[in-house]
Structure 1
Amino acid sequence: MAASEVLRARIAARIGEAGGWVPFADYMRWALYEPDLGYYSGGATKFGPAGDFITAPEITPLFGATLAEAIAPVLRQTGGIVLEAGAGTGLLAADVLRRLAELGTLPERYAILEVSGSLRARQQETIAAQAGELAERVVWLDAVPQSFCGVLLANEVLDVLPVHLVGTAEGEVFERGVTVRDGALAWEDRPPTPAALAGLEGIELPRLEGQEYVTEIHPVARAWVGTLARALQAGMLLLIDYGYPRETYYVPWRWRGTLQCYFRHRVVEDPLWLPGAMDITSFVDFTAVAEAAEAEGLETLAFMNQAGFLLANGILQRLEERAEPGSLAYLKAARALQRLIMPHEMGELFKVIALGRGIELLPWE
C-alpha cells in the first residue's frame, strides 16, 4: 500500500508535467513497469496461489513439455536458440529445457528477456532447482537481440503490454486518458492522440445509439511484435495469450472493452485503484499481431485455440508417459490438464499464433 501511494504521487506529478492529462497507455506502463514500484518491477509475489493469478506453467509441467514438442522441429531446422519473453517464475523454461533434452534438441542458449529484477532472481532460483545442469545454458537479456535464429516463446506477455483506450459516443471517436481531480487519479476523455489514431487504422469501431462504446487498441504490441519479427532471421515466434481475431474483438456486445485487473485472485474493476499493486491486462487483437509480423516478412503459420494446439502436439501422450493410467498421480495430472484444454477453462479463450520465416511446414500446423 505504501509503495502504491508513492507510485500514485509520482504518476500524478507526471500528469501535471504533461499538462493535466495522459493517454491510458502511459498510465498502464507506469503502473506495471515503473522501476522498483511498478507491478512487474516491484518485489511482491505475482504468480501462483500466494500471488494474484496462476498461469499455465504453474498448473502443470505438461504445458512446457508440450511446447517443447512444438518447437523442437524448428530448432532442428535452424540450430538456433530459444528466447523466452517474460518468463514468470521460470517454471516454463525448466519444463521446456527438460523435454528438449529428452528429445535431443537442446539449444546452445536459452535466453530470457525479463525487465523485472525480482522476477529474474526467482527465475534463476527455480531453473537451478528444476533443471539441474541444464541451467548452465540459460542467460538473461535486457533487450531483444538485434538478430537471432530459433524460437521466441511468449506466454501471457502480449496482454500486459500497454494499450490505448478509445471509444465512440454520439457518433464521435474519443480517447480515454487519466487526469488528476481533487487530488485523485480520474478518467477524462479527449480527442484521439496521434498514437491512438495510428492504432485505429484498419479498425471500425461500433457506434451504438444512445450508448457509449469503449475498447482497447494495441500500438505497443504491434511495435513489439514488429521488433521481434525484424530480429528473427529464421525460425518462429510462438505467442500464447487470451484474445480474439479483430472481427470478434470490436463488436457491439463488447461495449465495455476487455480491460481487466487482478489482485489476490480477484477481479478489480477500476484500473486506477492501487497502481503498482495489481495486474492490468487486456485481451489481444491477434489480427494486429499477424499484421505487424507479416509487414516484416513473416508468415502466419498457424492460429488456433490453446486446446487444439496442445492436443495436436501430444499433451495426452505426455500425460500417459508421466503417470500410470488410473493412478492417483494420473488423476491429479489429468485434472490439471483439463484446465488447459476444456472450453470453459483456458482451452478456447487462450489462442496460439505461430509466425515464421525460413522454415519448412511444421507437422502440427
Structure 2
Amino acid sequence: MHREDEPASVSAALAQQIRQDIAAAGGWWPFDRFMAAALYMPGLGYYAHGGVKFGWSPESGSDFVTAPEISPLFGHTVAVQVAQVLDATGLAEVVEFGAGTGALAQQLLEALGDRCARYTIVELSASLRQRQQQRLAAFGERVRWVDALPEGIEGVVVGNEVLDAMPVQLLHWDGTQWLERGVAVDEWKFVFADRPTELRPPVEGPFVPGTVTEIHPQARAFIATLAEKLQRGAAFFIDYGFPEAEYYHPQRHGGTLMCHRAHQADTDPLSDVGLKDITAHVDFTGIALAGQDAGLDVLGYTSQGHFLMNCGLAERLAQAGVRERTMAQKLMQEHEMGELFKVIGFGRGLPEGFDPIGFVHGDRSHRL
C-alpha cells in the first residue's frame, strides 16, 4: 500500500469500527463518545495514527499550527512564569499534558536550564510521543513520558491547546425543551440525532430556538483530577475560549464546535472521521469553578497577549530579528492569537503573597 493511501484506509477502518460500536449501543451515541473515538481510538483516531498534525502550511501535510511552532519566543516567554513558580517554591519539575510536536517542551527546557531537573510529558498518542522523543533526545534523562498524570505532582503543570480537544456534549434547544445531540447511522453515513435530556447549560439563557451549544464535563473532570494530584505548585492552561457569559451568549447560537484539516476550518465533525481535528472553545468559567471546587486557588485569567507581555515578550522582541519579530507579533496581536487565546492559572501551597508575573496587568478573573 502506498503511504499516501494510509490516512484514507485508517479513516475507513475507524468509521467501520464506530458504526459497529454505535449499533452495539442500540443505534445512538452521545456526541462526546463519538468525538473521543474520532480523536483517540487506539491506532485509528486522529491523534492516535501517524499522520502529520502540526505545521505551517497544507504542503507539509499538516492541519493547523500552534503557538510554539509560530515562534520559539512563545515558550521562552512562558518559561518566565514557570521559573517564577519554581524559584518561589524550590521545586524543579515541569509536567506538560499533551506536548504535540515537543516544541513547547524544547523551548521551556532551553529557557529553564538547570531550574528544571525533570520534565514529565503526559502523552496518550504513541505517534506524537515518538516525534517528541526524537526532538528532545538532546535533553536525555531529564525528560520522561507517562500515560497518565503522576499520582503526586510538586512543580508546574502546563498545557497548550489541551482543553479544547477534550470531548464535549452537545445540547440543542428546540424552543420548548433541551435535547442532547448524539450520533446515529443512516445508510452508512453518520447523522446527528437528538434525544430529550436532563442536561442543561450552566446559565439560564435566554436561548434562541435552534441553538446548539456545548457543555464540558470531561474538561472539568480533568481539572478536578489534576487538583487531586497537584500537591504543591501551579498549573497554567493556554487555549481559545471565553467566560460563560460570552460562551452562552444568545448570539452564539451555533456553538463553537469546529474541525481543522489542511489549515481549513469546517463545522462537520461527522465527515472524514479520523482525518481532521475536532475542537470546541473552552468555557473558562467552568474550568475556574472546577479548580476552585477541588481546592485550587485561581491565580489569574487573562488574554495570551497580556500574559506574554507581562512575562517580557516586548523586551525579547526588541532584541530579535525582523522575521522573528514579525512571527512573534502573531502571538500578541488581537486579530491573531493575542485576544482569542486566554491563559488561566491555578495554584496550591504557594508562598503567602505570591503574585504571578503573568497576571500582573490585565487580569480578568473578575469576568469569570
Same-fold call, TM > 0.5? yes
Q: Does the 8 Å CA contact 1:165/1:215 hold for their aligned counterparts?
A: yes
Partner in structure 2 of residue 215 of structure 1: 213
Q: What is the letter of the counterpart of residue 320 of structure 1?
A: A
Q: Does the 8 Å CA contact 1:42/1:118 hold for their aligned counterparts?
A: yes
Q: Does the 8 Å CA contact 1:163/1:282 hold for their aligned counterparts?
A: yes
Partner in structure 1 of residue 343 of structure 2: 352
CA distance in 2: counterparts of 1:71 and 1:225, whole angstroms: 19
User: Are residue 362 (structure 1) and residue 356 (structure 2) matched?
Assistant: yes
CA distance in 1: counterparts of 2:165 and 2:207, whole angstroms: 27
Partner in structure 2 of residue 115 of structure 1: 124
Partner in structure 1 of residue 275 of structure 2: 277
What SS does the corresponding residue of 1:344 show, helix, strand or coil? helix
CA distance in 1: counterparts of 2:223 and 2:242, whole angstroms: 16
User: Are residue 337 (structure 1) and residue 346 (structure 2) matched?
Assistant: no
What SS does the corresponding residue of 2:63 show, helix, strand or coil? coil
Q: Select the residue among 138, 152, 173 that pairs with 2:143.
A: 138
Deviation at 1:2, TM superposition (A): 1.4
CA distance in 2: counterparts of 1:201 and 1:332, whole angstroms: 44
CA distance in 1: counterparts of 2:98 and 2:297, whole angstroms: 23
User: Are residue 100 (structure 1) and residue 118 (structure 2) matched?
Assistant: no
What SS does the corresponding residue of 1:345 show, helix, strand or coil? helix
CA distance in 1: counterparts of 2:201 and 2:317, whole angstroms: 44
The 3 A distance-change label for structure 1 pair 240 and 364 is closer
Q: Select the residue among 150, 173, 177 that pairs with 2:178.
A: 173
Q: Does the 8 Å CA contact 1:65/1:318 hold for their aligned counterparts?
A: no
Partner in structure 2 of residue 310 of structure 1: 308
Partner in structure 2 of residue 326 of structure 1: none
Deviation at 1:31, TM superposition (A): 0.1
Q: What is the letter of the counterpart of residue 361 of structure 1?
A: D
| Cα deviation 1:212-233 (Å, max 9, x = unaligned) | 0000100000000110111101
Q: What is the letter of the counterpart of residue 328 of structure 2?
A: L
What SS does the corresponding residue of 1:319 show, helix, strand or coil? helix
Q: What is the letter of the counterpart of residue 49 of structure 2?
A: G
Partner in structure 2 of residue 40 of structure 1: 47
Deviation at 1:201, TM superposition (A): 6.3
CA distance in 1: counterparts of 2:349 and 2:358, whole angstroms: 17
CA distance in 1: counterparts of 2:193 and 2:290, whole angstroms: 30
Structure 1 length normalisation: TM-score?
0.92
Q: What is the letter of the counterpart of residue 363 of structure 1?
A: I
What SS does the corresponding residue of 2:33 show, helix, strand or coil? helix
Partner in structure 2 of residue 85 of structure 1: 97
| Cα deviation 1:33-64 (Å, max 9, x = unaligned) | 00000000000000003200000000000000
Q: What is the letter of the counterpart of residue 176 of structure 1?
A: R
**Shift >6 Å, 4+ stretches:** none
Partner in structure 2 of residue 30 of structure 1: 37
Q: 1:154-173 alignment to 2 at 5 Å?
A: 154-173=159-178
CA distance in 1: counterparts of 2:63 and 2:144, whole angstroms: 27
Root-mean-square deviation (CA), in Å?
1.2
CA distance in 1: counterparts of 2:264 and 2:347, whole angstroms: 37
Partner in structure 1 of residue 64 of structure 2: 53
The 3 A distance-change label for structure 1 pair 75 and 240 is same
What SS does the corresponding residue of 1:346 show, helix, strand or coil? helix
CA distance in 1: counterparts of 2:167 and 2:253, whole angstroms: 20
Partner in structure 2 of residue 300 of structure 1: 298
| Cα deviation 1:187-227 (Å, max 9, x = unaligned) | 1010126xxx2xx363324332xx30000100000000110
What SS does the corresponding residue of 2:202 show, helix, strand or coil? coil
Q: Does the 8 Å CA contact 1:206/1:213 hold for their aligned counterparts?
A: no
Q: What is the letter of the counterpart of residue 214 of structure 1?
A: V
Q: Does the 8 Å CA contact 1:229/1:298 hold for their aligned counterparts?
A: yes
What SS does the corresponding residue of 1:309 show, helix, strand or coil? helix
| Cα deviation 1:115-153 (Å, max 9, x = unaligned) | 01110010011122xxx3x34300001111111111110
Q: Does the 8 Å CA contact 1:80/1:148 hold for their aligned counterparts?
A: no
Partner in structure 1 of residue 230 of structure 2: 232
Q: What is the letter of the counterpart of residue 54 of structure 1?
A: V
Structure 2 length normalisation: TM-score?
0.91
Task: Structure 2 unaligned segments of length 5 or more: list them.
Answer: 1-7, 360-368
Q: Does the 8 Å CA contact 2:308/2:358 hold for their aligned counterparts?
A: no
What SS does the corresponding residue of 2:182 show, helix, strand or coil? strand
Partner in structure 1 of residue 365 of structure 2: none
CA distance in 2: counterparts of 1:254 and 1:237, whole angstroms: 29
Q: Select the residue among 132, 149, 158 that pairs with 1:153.
A: 158
Q: What is the letter of the counterpart of residue 110 of structure 2?
A: R
CA distance in 1: counterparts of 2:259 and 2:111, whole angstroms: 34
CA distance in 2: counterparts of 1:59 and 1:310, whole angstroms: 14
